[in-house]
Structures are given as C-alpha cells and as structure tokens.
Amino acid sequence: MRTALAVILALVIGVPGGWMIAMLLTPLLWKLEPILHMELAGHSGPSDWVFFVVWAVVIPALFLVLRFTILRQRKNSP
C-alpha cells in the first residue's frame, strides 16, 4: 500500500514538476546548442527527449524520497 501511494504521488507531483523543470532549462539549452551542435530547444520549449530525460530522473527520485519518508513515518508512529 505504501509503495502504491509513493508511485501515485511521484507521478502526480513528478509529471508537472518535471515539465516545469524542463521549461526552466530552456535558456540553458539554448546556450548549449552551439556547443553541442544539436537542437535542444525550439521556440516553444525543450525538445521532447529533454522532457523524457527530465521525467526519467525526477519521477524515480521522487518515488525514492517519498517511499523512504513514508516508510520512516510508519516506523516512528506508535
């Protein structure tokens, strides 16, 4: 049950949170384009693969944090 709750919370928080992080990275991505010689962001924001990479990092990290905080709270409760 705790794992399911952590998964749901990680998705509910991680999807919009990852989207905001990716959008905030747009100016940095524009600066990296000439260095890396590839298009990282367009006029409307980051490339799709940038969103997927951010989500692939943010959602599992949130899951781990939530899972261990929920687990710790269960151990400390009477």
3-state secondary structure at position 37: coil
Residue 69 in any domain: the answer is: yes
If one counts the domains in the chain, the total is 1
Q: Is 48 a member of any domain?
A: yes
Query: Domain containing 39: what range?
Result: 2-73
Distance set, CA 65 to CA 9, 53, 60, 62, 70 (Å): 11, 19, 9, 5, 9
pLDDT reported for residue 75: 66
pTM of the model: 0.81
Q: 25 phi and psi, to 5 degrees? A: -80, -10
Model confidence band, residue 71 (pLDDT cutoffs 50, 70, 90): low
| Per-residue model confidence (pLDDT) at position 57 | 97
Amino acid 17: pLDDT: 96
Using pLDDT thresholds of 50, 70 and 90, give the confidence band for residue 2: confident
Q: Among candidates 28, 72, 35, 66, which has minimal Cα distance to 50? A: 28
User: Once rounded to an integer, what is the mean pLDDT over residues 46-56?
Assistant: 94
Q: What is the pLDDT of residue 9?
A: 92
Give the span between the Cα atoms of 67 and 58, in whole angstroms: 14
